Amino acid sequence: MNDRSPDPIDIHVGTRIRTQRRLLKMTQTQLADQLGITFQQVQKYEKGINRIGSGRLARLAEVLGVEITFFFEGDPNARENSWKPLAEADPIFGFVGTAVGLELNQAFIAIKDDRVRRSIIKMTETLAKASAAPKD
């Protein structure tokens, strides 16, 4: 890591902020307004470019409705202080953090019929197996 590259933990925390903000359907501007900062600063936090002080992190947790520990969850290597990108450390949360993952999850949550949900899961599992099968 050179002096100009973001620290992996800052990237991890920023990814968690962005994902939670998107799950709440909150814009960067809305989050910035609640924090009393610019949306550009929120962008820098979410990209891990700027570090977040402890007071600001506490306020972020409050605004996003999570515990402070939420920002550090999801990395199985945390004890070894060997941070990986979120998608690599926790592929499910990494996927949910993408635009496609968020859209898919929001659409799935909107389905209220449990039978339809189960049918979609079975169909998705079948498609996943078919796409993973070796091609002759």
Same domain (yes/no): 92, 103: no
Of 17, 3, 5, residue with least CA distance to 52: 17
* Parent domain of 39: 1-97
Rg (Cα) of the chain, in Å, rounded? 18
38 pLDDT higher than 90: yes
> For position 55, which CATH number holds?
1.10.260.40
Structural domain count of the chain: 2
Specify the length of the chain in residues.
Answer: 136
pLDDT reported for residue 101? 83
* Domain match, 1 and 57 both: yes
Residues near 43 by Cβ (< 8 Å), separated by ≥ 6? 28
Whether 8 and 62 share a structural domain:
yes
Distance of alpha carbon 25 from alpha carbon 98, whole angstroms: 13
Measured distance CA(116)–CA(103) in Å, rounded: 18
Q: Which positions ≥6 away from 94 have C-beta within 8 Å?
A: 15, 85, 86, 87, 88
Is the same domain home to 63 and 128? no
Interval 70-90: pLDDT, tens? 998 876 445 554 545 555 556
Q: Do residues 115 and 130 both lie within one domain? A: yes
25 with 63, same domain: the answer is: yes
| Global pTM value | 0.61
